[in-house]
Amino acid sequence: MNLAVARPGHASGSGGACNVGVAMQRSEFVAIRAFIFDASGILLGDTKSALVTGRLGKRLRARGISSYASYLRLLVDDPEERQAAIDLLTTNETYFFREPRHFDFLRELAGKAGVARRPFRVWSAASSSGEEAYSAAMVLADVLGDKPWEVIGTDISSSMVAAARRARYPLARTQRIPDAFRRRFCLRGVGPAEGTLLVDGRLRRRVSFLEGNLNGTLPAIGEPFDLIFLRNVMIYFPAEVKTTLVARLVTHLRPGGHLLIGHSESLNGVCDTLDQVGPSIFRKS
C-alpha cells in the first residue's frame, strides 16, 4: 500500500505521550485518506479532516503516539491497529426497520416464495451492528415460520460484527420495531441489563454475521440470494468503485432476485443489467 508519505520511525516509549488534540498535517490527511480508500473503497472528501482527527485522535493518545505520521507507520506494521482504524473511520449508522417499504416488499417476496423447497436467502451486505439483518429476520420468521430461510450479514468492521452477534441494543434504538415483533422476538433486559433489549435466541440462530470487505475478498456466503440489501453504502464510494461493487454483488443474486439500495442512491451510470421495479428496488433478469 502506498501511503504517500515518508515512513517515519515509531514513537519512543519515553516520549510517546501526546497532548490532547494532535494537529494533522495535510500530507498526513492525504495518506490516511489513501489508507481507508485502499482498505474499504471509501473516499473521504477534503472536508473530512476534522472527522479523521476526531476519530483517530483517541487512538494516538491510547498508543502514546505524538504524530499522525507515526500512526501511519503503525498501521502498516500492526494488523490489529489497522482494524481499529478501519472500525473508527467507517460509518455505521443504522436502525431497525429503516425505510420500512423495503420490508413490506420483503414480506411480499417471502410470501410468494413460501412454497419453494430451497431456503429463502437474504444478505445484509453492510450490516453494521445488525439491525437491518434482524429486521429482515423478523419479517421472514413471521411469513415463513419454520420453512427454510436464512439471513447473512457482513461488515468490514470487526467491532460491528461482534456487536451484531451480541444482539443487545439500548431500548431507545428499538422503538421502530413493531410492537408485535418486539413482544414475539425480543427480550427486555432486567437487572444489570435493564434499559436494553436482546433479540431472542431462536431468531439469532437463523442469522449469521461475518466480517467481510465488499471491495475485497468476501467470506464464504453460500448459494445466491433472493434479496440483497445494499442501502446507504454507495454514497461513500466514487463512481468506479460503485460500478465494480454492484457488479460483484449481482453475481450473488439468483435470477429473479432483487437488489435494494437507499432511497437517496441511484444506479444510473453504475449498472445497466438490472431492471428497476420500484423506488430503489432492482430485479435481476
Quick check: is 15 in a domain? no
**pLDDT for residue 5:** 30
Whole-angstrom Cα distance, residue 129 to residue 94?
8
| 133 and 182 fall within a common domain | yes
In this structure, are strands 120-124 and 225-230 parallel, antiparallel, or unpaired?
parallel
CATH number of the CATH domain containing 120: 3.40.50.150
Say if residue 71 is in the same domain as residue 106: no
* Whole-angstrom distance, CA of residue 166 vs CA of residue 13: 36
Q: Are residues 163 and 71 in the same domain?
A: no
DSSP 8-class letter at 158: H
Q: Are 36 and 86 in contact (CB under 8 A)?
A: yes
Residue-range definition of the domain harbouring residue 194: 100-284
Is 263 a member of any domain? Answer: yes
- Here the cell at position 153 is 450479514
Same domain, residue pair 120 and 215 = yes
Count of structural domains, the chain: 2
Domain assignment present for residue 95? The answer is: no
Residue 38 one-letter amino acid: D
- Same-domain pairing of 64 and 119: no
Residue 9: pLDDT band (50, 70, 90) is very low
End-of-domain residue from the set 64, 89, 114: 89
Please determine, for residue 4, whether its predicted confidence score (pLDDT) is greater than 60: no
User: Does 149 map to a domain?
Assistant: yes
Counting residues of the chain whose pLDDT is more than 90, the rounded percentage is 60
81 and 145 belong to one structural domain: no
Query: Do residues 138 and 77 share a domain?
Result: no
Instruction: Give the whole-angstrom CA distance, residue 208 versus residue 154.
Output: 8
Residue 97, amino acid: F
8 A C-beta contact, residue 215 and residue 246 = no
Report if residue 10 sits inside a domain.
no
Whether residue 47 sits in one domain with residue 126: no
If asked whether residues 111 and 237 sit together in one domain, one would say yes
Separation CA 26–CA 121 (nearest Å): 45
* 226 in active site: no
| Active-site pick, 98, 121, 155, 231 | 155
Stretch 18-37: mean pLDDT:
79
Residue-by-residue DSSP string for 242-276? HHHHHHHHHTTEEEEEEEEE-TT---TTT-SSEEE
In a domain, 279, yes or no: yes
48-57, 101-110, 121-130, 224-233: which range is least confident on average? Answer: 48-57
261 shares a domain with 159 = yes
Mean pLDDT of the chain: 88
Of 89, 112, 140, which one is at a domain's C-terminal end? 89
0.85 exceeded by pTM: no
Give the end of a domain, one of 37, 64, 89: 89
Instruction: State the pLDDT at residue 244.
Output: 93
Q: What is the pLDDT of residues 45-76, one digit of tens each?
A: 888 888 888 889 888 988 899 899 999 999 98
Active site residue 87: no
- Average confidence (pLDDT) over 20-35: 84
Q: In this model, does residue 13 exceed pLDDT 80?
A: no
Asked if residue 146 is part of any domain, the answer here is: yes
**Contact at 8 Å (CB) between 209 and 127?**
yes
Q: Is residue 258 part of a domain?
A: yes
pLDDT band at 36 (very low <50, low <70, confident <90, very high): confident
Task: Tell whether the model's pLDDT for residue 229 goes beyond 60.
Answer: yes
Same domain, 52 and 183: no
Do 81 and 116 belong together in one domain? no
Please tell me the predicted confidence (pLDDT) of residue 99.
94
The contacts of residue 161 (CB under 8 Å, 6+ apart) are: 127, 153, 155, 209, 210, 211
